[in-house]
């Protein structure tokens, strides 16, 4: 399918690895020029070189912490006017409700709610002026069904989701389409780190922890960054103009809900 976005320009945050990289690759495949960001320069440059070699698009890289004000300013400066924004950053650590204090919540809110809001605030006015824009926020299945040990994530991402629900409807008349993608378990470094937490807590091997988590997914496997990226690219496409303020669950059926 031609997504109709060749020649557009996208900022994809936290995209040297994992889900962000899946999104960057799928957009590049659709002919979108990229501004890629991640914290570590080495992995970022390697990812950018790989994408340049495989797709006929330009790739600008900015190694910076997107959650810090200085890092975000650097990324926005390099990005300039973009048509497409994919927000992403690392997720908060797991724990127990009684482990978390004000500063832990502030950290989670900064990373997973206020950073995507700051990026949308900075970039959507230009999209509105040009009459076309796409925003995809990478959130989590934990917004639809809480994951108890990820209370910081549940809280921060639900806040972002509430903001998007209203804002998406305010910018839609100007051709700007904002949606959230809710990943369930995907085979990325984050999944390996959560497998490690399960293995440690239960005194089992990493393989057993993974098998245990796969058994909870009707598709009986973890998702891939590539299939996640393709869904993101579709939401950024010309075909997605009537999908406004939605939360799309990509979880292999793990969330047991009718809607």
Chain positions contacting ligand NAD, by CB under 6 A: 14-20, 37-40, 65-67, 88-91, 138, 140, 183, 185-186, 188-191
Q: How far is the CB of 2 from ligand NAD (least distance, A)?
A: 27
Q: How far is the CB of 153 from ligand NAD (least distance, A)?
A: 6
Q: How far is the CB of 241 from ligand NAD (least distance, A)?
A: 25
Helix ranges (DSSP H) in the chain: 18-29, 41-54, 69-79, 102-109, 115-130, 151-171, 189-202, 206-214, 225-235
Strand order across the 9-12 sheet? 59-63, 33-38, 9-12, 84-87, 133-138, 176-183, 247-250
Q: Which residue number, 155 or 171, has a Cβ lying nearer to ligand NAD? A: 155
Cα–Cα distance between 176 and 170 in angstroms, integer? 9
Residue with tokens 């998702």: 223
Q: Which residue number, 48 or 171, has a Cβ lying nearer to ligand NAD? A: 48
Q: Which residue number, 88 or 167, has a Cβ lying nearer to ligand NAD? A: 88
Q: Which residue number, 112 or 171, has a Cβ lying nearer to ligand NAD? A: 112
3-state helix, strand, coil in the chain (%, to 5): 55, 15, 30
Q: Which residue number, 165 or 187, has a Cβ lying nearer to ligand NAD? A: 187
- The residues facing 35 across adjacent strands are 11, 60
Q: How far is the CB of 178 from ligand NAD (least distance, A)?
A: 17
Q: How far is the CB of 22 from ligand NAD (least distance, A)?
A: 8
């Amino acid at each position: 399918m031609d997504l109709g976005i060749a020649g557009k320009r996208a900022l994809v945050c936290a995209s040297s690895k994992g889900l962000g990289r899946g999104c960057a690759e799928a957009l590049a495949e659709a002919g979108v020029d990229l501004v890629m960001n991640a914290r570590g320069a080495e992995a970022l440059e390697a990812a950018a070189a790989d994408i340049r070699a495989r797709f006929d698009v330009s790739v600008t890289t900015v190694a910076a912490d997107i959650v810090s004000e200085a890092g975000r300013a650097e990324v926005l400066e390099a990005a300039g006017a973009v048509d497409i924004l994919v927000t992403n950053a690392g997720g908060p650590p797991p724990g127990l409700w009684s482990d978390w204090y004000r500063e832990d919540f502030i950290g989670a809110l900064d990373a997973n709610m206020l950073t995507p809001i700051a990026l949308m605030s900075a970039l959507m006015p230009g999209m509105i002026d040009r009459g076309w824009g796409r925003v995809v926020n990478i959130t989590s299945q934990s917004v639809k069904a809480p994951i108890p040990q990820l209370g910081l994530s549940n809280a921060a991402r639900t806040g972002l989701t509430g903001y998007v629900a209203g804002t998406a409807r305010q910018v839609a008349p100007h051709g700007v389409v904002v949606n959230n993608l809710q990943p369930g378990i995907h085979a990325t470094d984050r999944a390996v780190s959560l497998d490690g937490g399960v293995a440690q807590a239960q005194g089992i091997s990493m393989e057993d922890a993974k098998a245990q988590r796969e058994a909870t997914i009707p598709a009986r496997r973890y998702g891939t960054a590539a299939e996640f990226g393709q869904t993101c690219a579709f939401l950024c496409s010309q075909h997605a103009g009537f999908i406004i303020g939605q939360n799309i669950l990509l979880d292999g059926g793990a969330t047991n809900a009718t809607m």
